[in-house]
Structure 1
Amino acid sequence: MVCTPWLPLETAPALELATAALIYPQLVTPRKGRSSLSGEQIQTKASQMCTPWIWPLAYVIVSCHPHKRIGSLETGTHQWDLATWEGLLPRYEHASFVPSCMPHSIWVFGGADQSGNRNCLQVLNPETRTWTTPEVTCPAPSPRTFHTSSAAIGNQLYVFGGGERGTQPVQDVKLHVFDATTLTWSQPETLGNPPSPRHGHVMVAAGTQLFIHGGLAGDTFFDDLHCIDISDMKWQKLNPTGAAPAGCAAHSAVAVGKHIYIFGGMTPTGALDVMYQYHTEKQHWTLLKFDTLLPPGRLDHSMCIIPWPVTSASENEDSNSVTLNCEAERGDSADKEVTKGGDSQKSHTDTLLCFVFGGMNTEGEIYDDCIVTVVD
């Protein structure tokens, strides 16, 4: 399967961070890297986070000491803006999500700073530029790193596994559920056998199902795929067909309809530059092929899905021509605007881009670049 080429997203001075989380009220997760955006440049140190973002801004939560910053990327102009919003506790390898009940807020859980792991929750209000720490009832998961922005369904964040120290995961195999409406944690009873303890895995929600792939414990890299449906809370170890990914950790994942996409990560031999697609109904893996050079292999990057304005080809032009319209104003992704002129006809709509920010390789080089590819 040959896919739309990976493209660098040219931006103005990117942000300078030390670990972050990327968010688009539908965005996802990163570490450190090279950038081509505009505005004040973001330089990361390892472990940012992508999450759903609030149109037309994508938010990068800069969380590693000594930074406590939020970088916002204006998707129309490709301009970065870096602001210091007080109240964020420094952290990296954290989770972020946007609950349905508060779609204009960004919630952050867990992670670590130089003194140790965290298990607290904090909430960002982008409109007031303030962080708050809500009073949460019921026992929270033990402090851990848990790097994701794709493990939420509705108002609930789901937590499984995570890092304890170094390459060792927490030994807890309970499923922890945080409800943003009640500010409570719960540990529901589950059926079946849960995945073994791990960290660096991807955990991604598709419909009512949560999928877990990969991760590591000590020097063991996992290549297994597990699923739990929140409607019956039953764990299943899946046996998919196709070209399955090798054992890896610190990769990223997003869900689009019946498909899950994973990109990057690390193996014992280095960082990965490949992307796989998993069909949740057919239980089939596909290694995606691109007709351009692949981006540098990376781990601990952030990744999310964003709607992007495009102009399709006119009737008398190449039917395969599609142009990203970076300056178009926002429109409903379901709407389609058609412009006619003489014999030509152009339509403006939104396409879905897989947006990757930052990361690092296994030699210690940290990236601050933004790259995109079109997904179905």
Structure 2
Amino acid sequence: MDTGAESQCSELVARERSGHTAVVTDDNLLYVWGGYVSVAESEVFLSNTQIWVYDIQQGVWEVFYMTGEVPPPMSGICGCFLDGQLYMFGGCDMNGQTNQMYCVNLTDGNYTWRKVRAKRGSVPSPRDKVSCWTYEGRIIYFGGYGHKALSDIDNSNRNFIVDEAAWVEDVFWGWNNEVHIFDPAQTSWTRPHTCGNTPAPRAAHASATSGCKGYIFGGRVMETRKNDIHCMDLNTMTWSEIIPVTPSPVGRSWHTLTAVSENTLFLFGGLSSNCTPMSDGWLFDLQTKKWTEIQHPHGNKPRLWHTACLGRDSDVIVFGGSCDYILLVDTGHCNDALVFQMQPYPLYRICEDFIAKNVRNNELLRNQLHFLPPKLLSAVQRRMNFYRPSKKKSAQ
């Protein structure tokens, strides 16, 4: 299977970064916000007033400036796209982990932030490297690393594992396996009762939603990086662990998991159990419970703390992240967009890509472009930008 391409046509590209958030909208635009880079020996948060938009069809970047109740610069945020809005929860700012939520409409062109203030329910404790699923208009959050007061830690059910290296007086940091639900329509938080085999606390894991099921894979707790896969029935709030019938990928953190079809999840990259940045790609069949490692053209591009979003024709768009073990060497932040083809393209897409890729060097094609139907001609002209020579210029 042809599994990808790398866009390199845009003259201006978003700055390299890790720990950012990214979503793809219905019009096949990738929105990127936040994250951090390394400058000398310091970690520097990127601008909180800029949102970068990548037209996946053309391979062209634009930057827009944001107003309103703008979030502080952050990394490790959990972002998702729901009903035209980008919702962001948690993350780490200059003061450490936060439990604030912000949203912005990505469809009206105004890019005006709004801080979300819950009307009902208890907001989860501050945390970052948390994941989420979206289902029936709600956002369901799981896990993460953050801090709690000693009085709020319930050791009876082991839903919070204390990081013994991080505490101040009666405040302790650690990993959790809590589930919290945010309902945007009601502006409310709830802590549902869950059943079944609950996963161990963790952070820097990856999640994906398929139908009425939410899935998580891997993640870190203490010095362990896991390779287990769990399923949450989002109707009944029931956990179950999936035991694969084939060998699983190695344990990892800071990877991504993307639902590419009703029955298939795509796992990419991360930091392995022996702290090696990974570039391997795996498909998991939810029906047969089989893992299959796939060959792809980005095998020389390890990534961790990147983002992965589902685009047109089930393409997976991976942006940013680091190619280093960022806890030791933190210089390898990236800003390329890697495109992974997950299924055969429809004939329309094949024709569009073939013409756009070859028209500049084929006089016959150039002379016959005007014969194309208007819709296809417009698509080809946009796609031609994707294949034009690159003069990359990163934003500073």
TM-score (norm 2): 0.71
2:212 paired residue number: 208
User: What are the residue-to-residue correspondences of 1:1-376 with 2, within 5 Å?
Assistant: 3-12=1-10, 38=11, 40-64=12-36, 65-68=45-48, 69-86=50-67, 87-99=70-82, 103-126=83-106, 127=108, 128-136=110-118, 137-146=120-129, 148=131, 151-164=133-146, 170-256=174-260, 257-267=262-272, 268-290=274-296, 292=297, 294-307=299-312, 351-361=313-323, 362=325, 363-364=329-330, 365-376=332-343
Report Cα offsets for 1:354-374 as digits up to 9, x if no partner: 111011021421110011121
Letter of the structure 2 residue corresponding to residue 276 of structure 1:
W
What is the distance in 2 between the residues matched to 1:153 and 1:301?
23
Percent pairwise identity: 22
Asked if 2 retains the 8 angstrom alpha-carbon contact of 1:161 and 1:170, the reply is: no
In the TM superposition, residue 63 of structure 1 has moved relative to its aligned partner by 4.7
Q: Which has the higher helix share?
A: 2
Q: State the number of aligned residues.
A: 300
Letter of the structure 1 residue corresponding to residue 58 of structure 2:
T
Bigger-Rg structure (1/2): 2
In the TM superposition, residue 180 of structure 1 has moved relative to its aligned partner by 1.4
Asked if 2 retains the 8 angstrom alpha-carbon contact of 1:243 and 1:287, the reply is: no
Q: 1:200 to 1:56 in 2, by over 3 A?
A: closer
2:358 paired residue number: none
What is the distance in 2 between the residues matched to 1:298 and 1:191?
34
What is the distance in 1 between the residues matched to 2:317 and 2:71?
25
| Equivalent position SS for 1:198 | coil
| Equivalent position SS for 1:264 | strand
| Equivalent position SS for 2:176 | coil
Structure 2 runs not aligned, ≥5 long = 37-44, 148-162, 167-172, 344-396
Question: What RMSD, in angstroms, separates the aligned Cα atoms of the two structures?
Answer: 2.0
Report Cα offsets for 1:325-376 as digits up to 9, x if no partner: xxxxxxxxxxxxxxxxxxxxxxxxxx32111101102142111001112113
Letter of the structure 2 residue corresponding to residue 286 of structure 1:
T
| Equivalent position SS for 1:241 | coil
In the TM superposition, residue 232 of structure 1 has moved relative to its aligned partner by 2.1
Report Cα offsets for 1:251-297 as digits up to 9, x if no partner: 0111022111110000124110001111112222111123x451411
Report Cα offsets for 1:40-88 as digits up to 9, x if no partner: 3212332122223241432111255351120011233322112221313
In the TM superposition, residue 142 of structure 1 has moved relative to its aligned partner by 0.7
In the TM superposition, residue 164 of structure 1 has moved relative to its aligned partner by 2.2
Runs of 4+ in 1 over 6 A off after TM superposition: 165-169
What is the distance in 2 between the residues matched to 1:293 and 1:154?
35
What is the distance in 1 between the residues matched to 2:191 and 2:287?
27
What is the distance in 2 between the residues matched to 1:134 and 1:235?
29
| Equivalent position SS for 1:88 | coil
Report Cα offsets for 1:284-315 as digits up to 9, x if no partner: 2111123x4514111000111111xxxxxxxx
Letter of the structure 1 residue corresponding to residue 140 of structure 2:
Y
